[in-house]
């Protein structure tokens, strides 16, 4: 195989055979193929795309560039959930213990926040003592014993993805649906799961701003999963406003505990039910979506989900008392209420601005090296469609630094659009995209 | 300027401002921009193109990446001719002295043969003693005294082109009309000429196989020249069969001498007249094309062109007696006639196969490092439209090695297409494309 011929073929919109793609990924990972050839190929892929067969091979080759976890010693279904990223997206935290309670194990390898979206690892680490850097054997042990475990990326899984991502980052080839999808799926499939539920976000706070793009990403993700032998289903969900009330690491853990107590915001709870229901269906613990959602609700009502979360926190070195006394979580020194200056209805929210305000407060990262402050964040007090009056509170800011407060306030100044009429509103779960191999 | 933003802009089909292009070329040449970013940009340029303003800036930046010759000490017009490459294209050899005789100086920096097309330097070096590695001062002296001088590329001219070409070669970004055009023009404009006539070849022996591609290349070349302040005109000429009779280095010098003696093949002579006429017009030594061509014919008839060529050979260290006794040129030990096996008319010639047969005989290079044999080659005995009979000679092969002969014969086996009817034939000069600043 000549790499120049591979680049030429993709440049000329030809389809690359799977064995060629596998060799390219292998030889790029081991350094045989230099960066300057790979970046030309990446740009050709960016502009000319990859078809379904190519995508399956590309993601599969990245997946097999490193260790693939073997969870076969653990009985039963192992199903993970992955979100493409949103604002206030704490769903994994209540979801994992609830699904585990219902008999489907959840091995979850997650990421950190970057840009306007938060990361589950950062949120969980706001629990004093909570460790996400468990070894692979410890992780497998957690999945086997507790039923759910949540750790960060390790160097041994999908090393091709790290090397390729670094190159894409400096060659403007990040925002490509096939490359994004292959990157996501290579990491998730390396977890050794039997099923995967994807939460593909669409709207002002998501990476995919349009339904068409989100649907294409969802289809691409599902095709890669199914092509690599893993049952995969994607939910397209609304990200035109933050999920629930809390945006910020410790604040989101607090809201997660509220969900587990049956006291969570309606939309957060509804998303947990929808995604959890799909995971139970996929794991063979529910005959249909309805039964799956009912089982999740029952696990909330019984308190079993809360108990399982307490165990999960304890297993991962965190302070289990947090679950019963959320005031043990880090809290900001100050709060400030932002108020509306007009009467009307909340018509729209610039969700990305809310996410960026959280970063400006110190709760997220602009660069990978940035340190985060777990205590800061916002409680969002209104939702789209709410009637508001001049003087009503839009958000309560939790802050530790007045300069950072000022920056966040400036960012939030025009985050809410108010008008005289309530807007039309769409559903929270917009669509479901299942592969041929997924249970309906 | 962030290189990632430059790549993104071209990826998204935006136009890059000239100052950005200049910075990119400068920083790539000095090593600030790494190969892996440049190759992503090159692929984006390959797939999304460059507009006229971008092209002018790109070629101009490459031109100014090194020395630009200052020929202002030499009075009068300085006009060069460049061919995009064909088979049997020895035109520069008789052209340069003829144009010089008519009062327009010809500073010609030329290339070596690679692939199926020959190079003027290789042809001239078949003259015993002829040197093409003159220093820049010697070259300028030759242009001033003899009126025409022909040397090879030097490291000091357009270094960006060498570095970019090497990267394009390994990233499958060679066959891009804007990048080809910028590469050609950066080198030619660095000669410090006031005018440039381009011979853009189209047909089975040319890089451009279709008239549309050739026309686009011609327009692009002219736009770059005019955009950089040099009068530029392109002739689109037929390359569906070799030019003249001779293909091979010493054989082509011999045919060049025949042209200068007024005994050359009709098409070779016609091309010399057409291109020379345009150069004289451009250099202000002819009022129109007709007068220009008449002056070239007169310089042939008077023998002045032959005398000037003798001087040129002598100035560049070659054996001037070759001009009067072409048998002093290297000759192959053996010849073999290829014959037709049928009656009919020559309908088509696979000119690229003839070029490759010349390479297989040892007269050209497959890799840059290959040594060439100046003596070998072919005399093509028929032209498209000729009536032929079984047993007629299609070509006489001049060879030194029977294995190489066998390889060339195999390549030539199906080079000629014979049919019962003569084909329709187009003109030798298909079209002229002039810039706004060129004299009509």
Between CA A260 and CA A255 the distance in angstroms is: 9
pLDDT tens digits, one per residue of A191-212: 999 999 999 999 999 989 999 9
pLDDT above 90 as % of chain B: 89
DSSP-derived letter for residue A361 is I
Considering only CB atoms, which chain B residues are within 8 Å of A171? 4, 7, 36-37, 40
**Length of chain B in residues, anyone?**
440
First to last CA, chain B: 42
User: Mean pLDDT over residues B250-277, rounded?
Assistant: 98
pLDDT tens digits, one per residue of A299-313: 999 999 999 999 999
User: Mean pLDDT over residues A314-337, rounded?
Assistant: 97
Architecture per CATH, A331-419: Alpha-Beta Complex (3.90)
Identify the three-state secondary structure at position B108: strand
Of B40, B47, B169, the CB nearest to A171: B40
Is B303's pLDDT higher than 60? yes
Class of domain B79-325: alpha beta
Domain limits of chain B?
A: 3-48, 79-325, 331-419
**A44–B42: do the CB atoms touch at under 8 Å?**
no
User: Mean pLDDT over residues A276-292, rounded?
Assistant: 97
Tokens standing for residue B436 = 């706004």
Between CA A22 and CA A286 the distance in angstroms is: 37
CB B348 within 8 A of CB B384: yes
**A38–B36: do the CB atoms touch at under 8 Å?**
yes
User: Mean pLDDT over residues A335-360, rounded?
Assistant: 96
**B173–A35: do the CB atoms touch at under 8 Å?**
no
In this predicted structure, what is the pLDDT of residue A114?
66
Is B287's pLDDT higher than 60? yes
Is A439's pLDDT higher than 60? no
**A40–B40: do the CB atoms touch at under 8 Å?**
yes
> How high does pLDDT run on average in chain B?
94
A interface test, pick of B9, B13, B43 with most A CB neighbours within 10 Å: B43
User: Mean pLDDT over residues B402-428, rounded?
Assistant: 95
Interface TM-score (ipTM) > 0.85: no
In this predicted structure, what is the pLDDT of residue B440?
43
pLDDT tens digits, one per residue of B89-131: 999 999 999 999 999 999 999 877 667 777 899 999 999 999 9
Active site residue A183: yes
Identify the three-state secondary structure at position B196: strand
**B167–A48: do the CB atoms touch at under 8 Å?**
no
Give the distance from residue B179's alpha carbon to the nearest chain A alpha carbon, in angstroms.
15
Is B437's pLDDT higher than 70? no
pLDDT band at A370 (very low <50, low <70, confident <90, very high): confident
Distances in Å between the alpha carbon of A235 and those of A188, A270, A276, B186? 16, 13, 11, 54
Is A440's pLDDT higher than 50? no
Chain B residues in contact with chain A using a Cβ-Cβ cutoff of 8 Å: 3-5, 7-8, 11, 34-44, 46-48, 167, 169-173
Of A8, A169, A172, the CB nearest to B11: A172
Active site residue B13: no
Of A39, A44, A46, the CB nearest to B36: A39
Burial (Cβ within 10 Å: 0-12, 13-18, ≥19) of residue A424: exposed
Is A2's pLDDT higher than 90? no
Contacts of B397 (CB under 8 A, 6+ apart): B335, B336, B337, B338, B357, B361, B377, B378, B405, B408, B409, B412
pLDDT band at A368 (very low <50, low <70, confident <90, very high): confident
Active site residue A238: no
Active site residue B82: yes
Tokens 């979100």, located at residue: A83
CB B121 within 8 A of CB B112: yes
Active site residue B161: yes
> Is residue A431 within a helix (H) or strand (E), and if so which, with residue range?
strand A429-434
Is B386's pLDDT higher than 90? yes
User: Mean pLDDT over residues A67-83, rounded?
Assistant: 94
Between CA A105 and CA A79 the distance in angstroms is: 6
User: Mean pLDDT over residues A11-31, rounded?
Assistant: 97
Question: Which of B325, B315, B375, B370 has its CA nearest to residue B150?
Answer: B315
Q: Which of A183, A194, A256, A438 is catalytic?
A: A183
> How high does pLDDT run on average in chain A?
94
**A11–B46: do the CB atoms touch at under 8 Å?**
yes
Q: Partners of A388 in the beta sheet? A: A344
Q: Which of A10, A163, A168, A310 is catalytic?
A: A168
Long-range contacts of B23-30 (CB under 8 A, 24+ apart): B24/B61, B25/B58, B25/B61, B25/B62, B25/B65, B25/B160, B26/B61, B26/B65, B27/B3, B28/B160, B28/B163, B28/B164, B29/B65, B29/B159, B29/B160, B29/B163
Q: Which of B83, B183, B394, B438 is catalytic?
A: B183
pLDDT tens digits, one per residue of A151-189: 988 888 889 998 998 899 899 998 899 999 999 999 999
**B11–A39: do the CB atoms touch at under 8 Å?**
no
pLDDT band at B369 (very low <50, low <70, confident <90, very high): confident
Chain A residues in contact with chain B using a Cβ-Cβ cutoff of 8 Å: 3-5, 7-8, 11, 34-44, 46-48, 167, 169-173
**B171–A4: do the CB atoms touch at under 8 Å?**
yes
């Amino acid at each position: 195989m000549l790499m120049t011929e591979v680049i030429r073929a993709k440049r000329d919109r030809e389809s690359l055979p799977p064995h060629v793609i596998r060799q390219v990924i292998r030889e790029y990972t081991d350094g045989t193929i230099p960066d300057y050839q790979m970046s030309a190929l990446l740009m050709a892929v960016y502009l000319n795309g990859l078809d379904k067969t190519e995508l399956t091979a590309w993601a599969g080759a990245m997946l097999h560039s490193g260790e693939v976890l073997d969870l076969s010693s653990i009985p039963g279904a192992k199903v993970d959930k992955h979100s493409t990223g949103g604002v206030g997206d704490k769903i994994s935290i209540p979801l994992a213990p609830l699904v585990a309670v219902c008999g489907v194990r959840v091995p979850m390898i997650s990421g950190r926040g970057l840009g306007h979206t938060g990361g589950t690892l950062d949120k969980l680490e706001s629990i004093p003592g909570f460790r996400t850097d468990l070894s692979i054997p410890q992780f497998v042990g957690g999945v086997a014993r507790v039923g759910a475990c949540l750790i960060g990326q390790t160097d041994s899984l999908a090393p091709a993805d790290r090397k390729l991502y670094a190159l894409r980052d400096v060659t403007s080839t990040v925002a490509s649906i096939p490359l994004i999808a292959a990157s996501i799926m290579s990491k998730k499939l390396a977890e050794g799961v039997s099923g995967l539920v994807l939460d593909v976000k669409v709207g002002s706070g998501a990476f995919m701003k349009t339904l068409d793009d989100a649907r294409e990403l969802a289809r691409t993700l599902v095709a890669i999963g199914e092509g690599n032998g893993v049952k995969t289903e994607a939910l397209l969900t609304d990200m035109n406003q933050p999920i629930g009330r809390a945006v910020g690491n410790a604040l989101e853990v607090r809201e997660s505990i509220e969900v587990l107590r049956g006291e969570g915001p309606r939309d957060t709870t509804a998303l947990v039910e929808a995604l959890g229901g799909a995971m139970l269906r996929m794991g063979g613990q529910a005959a249909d979506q309805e039964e799956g959602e009912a089982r999740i609700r029952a696990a909330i009502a019984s308190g079993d989900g809360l108990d399982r979360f307490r165990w999960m926190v304890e297993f991962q070195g965190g302070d289990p008392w947090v679950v019963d006394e959320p005031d043990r979580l880090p809290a900001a020194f100050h709060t400030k209420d932002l108020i509306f200056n007009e009467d009307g209805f909340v018509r729209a929210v610039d969700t990305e601005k809310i996410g960026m305000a959280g970063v400006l407060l110190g709760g997220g990262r602009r660069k990978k090296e940035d340190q985060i402050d777990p205590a800061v964040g916002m409680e969002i007090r209104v939702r789209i469609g709410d009637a508001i009056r001049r003087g009503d509170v839009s958000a309560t800011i939790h802050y530790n630094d007045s300069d950072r407060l000022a920056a966040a306030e400036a960012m939030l100044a025009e985050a809410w659009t108010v008008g005289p009429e309530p807007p039309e509103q769409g559903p929270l779960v917009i669509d479901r995209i299942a592969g041929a191999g997924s249970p309906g």
